[in-house]
Structure 1
Amino acid sequence: MDFLNLTKEYESSYLEDLNTLVSIHSIRDLSTKTNSAPFGQGPRQALDAFLEMGKRDGFDTKDIDGYAGVISYGEQKDTVGILGHLDIVPIGEDWSKEPLKVTLDDGYVFGRGVMDDKGPTLAAYYALKLLKDHRVPLKKRVMLIAGCDEESGMECIQYYKKHAEIPQTGFVPDADFPVIYGEKGGAHVTLSSKDDT
């Protein structure tokens, strides 16, 4: 398959769906918290919009009590997870573009969450959609897990781990990092050795 060219067929619908997600002010706001919206109405609305996209396109979807959602493809017992999130950090000031709207400018996409992490999560969704639409056989069931509280302490994934299926392996498409296997912090070190190697 020529995946690169196939993805171009999805570009306009991807940007439309991305705009739907970006337009939602999905910052944690406990003043609007309810039982089904543990992080407030913004994250709840983003989760609802994301799961609705999955239903629209014929995927299996699960709402994990408003903490996270899962869009699955396949019936296999073995699983691979893709972990993303739909919440954002505060919008801040001095934007040159409208922050709650997708704006294209000189090949770049602007809007709060387009890199961290609505854009990458939706890109993973569209990769899954492409596989499903073209009936690509999978060896593992894919679980796209979207949390709602990554930016404020990851309470979403703590809840998920206690109440939902854990994939056997997985990766995280987040921000401008290519693929993240594990991120526990950062360290800058200088190593020295007397060995020639």
Structure 2
Amino acid sequence: MDFRKLAEEQKPSFLKDLNTIISINSVRDEATAGPGKPFGNGPKEALNAMLSMGKRDGFDVKNIDGYAGVVEYGDPDNPDTLGILGHLDIVPLGEGWTKQPLALTVNDGYLFGRGVLDDKGPTMAAYYALKLIREAKIPLKKRVMLVMGCDEESGMECMNYYLSHAEIPKTGFVPDADFPVIYGEKGGAHIILESETSTAIRSMHAGTRPNIVIGKADMTT
């Protein structure tokens, strides 16, 4: 089976579906949160779009109360499961874009758009890999579960809920960011600095999330 050839044949469909997901501003929004949409309208729309694609292509799909979704392939009675963990939420759009952040732009072989690298692009790539396997009718020893969270960028509340309300895969991996070039992180630290020492600084603000590179910083003295 020539996976590269089959993937190339699916490229127009892949790009169309990826554009559908990229066009959704799925930043967590407390103002529109509610039952079935714990992280607001955007993450809910992105999750519904992915699950609709799964139904369209003949997969079994599950909506875990708006916190996460699952696209499954394989014998539903097979307890041996492989999990692929992605996420559909994004960090705020930020400033200084030279391309439209909420549209997929293809330029000189590169893809641009918020979430292309983290994590809508890798999640869609995993989905299409599973789609190719299903269409080729390749028998699997494991039941594959593509688990898609909706709050990875703001604290993992999606996975905390999933762990206590849904099936946990036996093994798995996370295609996020520069996977497979980068396939692990040593950890991170969120530090709060406080002082009662007098200073000339009246206020200071930088960045929109603790997990993204600061694009702009302001200070008032």
TM over 0.5: yes
User: In the TM superposition, what are the counterparts of 1:7-156 in structure 2 within 5 Å?
Assistant: 7-75=7-75, 76-156=78-158
Q: How far apart, in 1, do the equivalents of 2:33 and 2:2 lie?
A: 45
Q: How far apart, in 1, do the equivalents of 2:182 and 2:83 lie?
A: 12
Q: How far apart, in 1, do the equivalents of 2:96 and 2:50 lie?
A: 28
Q: What secondary structure, in the 3-state scheme, does the structure 2 residue paired with 1:84 have?
A: strand
Task: State the Cα distance separating 1:150 from its structure 2 match.
Answer: 0.1
Q: Is the contact between residue 81 and residue 143 of structure 1 (CA under 8 Å) also seen in structure 2?
A: yes
Deviations 1:104-125 (A, max 9, x none): 0000000000000000000000
Alignment gaps of 5+ in structure 2? 190-221
AA aligned to 1:59 is: F
TM normalised by structure 1 equals 0.92
Q: How far apart, in 1, do the equivalents of 2:11 and 2:101 lie?
A: 20
Alignment gaps of 5+ in structure 1? 188-197
AA aligned to 1:55 is: K
Task: State the Cα distance separating 1:77 from its structure 2 match.
Answer: 2.0
AA aligned to 1:177 is: F
Q: How far apart, in 2, do the equivalents of 1:95 and 1:112 lie?
A: 10
Q: How far apart, in 2, do the equivalents of 1:150 and 1:172 lie?
A: 12
Q: How far apart, in 2, do the equivalents of 1:96 and 1:180 lie?
A: 26
CA shift in 2, pair 1:47/1:128, >3 Å: same
Determine which structure has greater relative contact order: mean sequence separation of CA pairs < 8 Å that are 6+ residues apart, divided by chain length: 1
Task: State the Cα distance separating 1:177 from its structure 2 match.
Answer: 2.6
- Is 1:165 aligned to residue 167 of structure 2? yes
Q: How far apart, in 1, do the equivalents of 2:182 and 2:54 lie?
A: 24
Q: How far apart, in 1, do the equivalents of 2:91 and 2:178 lie?
A: 16
Q: How far apart, in 2, do the equivalents of 1:30 and 1:143 lie?
A: 28
CA RMSD of aligned residues (A): 1.4
Q: What secondary structure, in the 3-state scheme, does the structure 1 residue paired with 2:70 have?
A: strand
Count of matched residue pairs: 187
Bigger radius of gyration, 1 or 2?
2
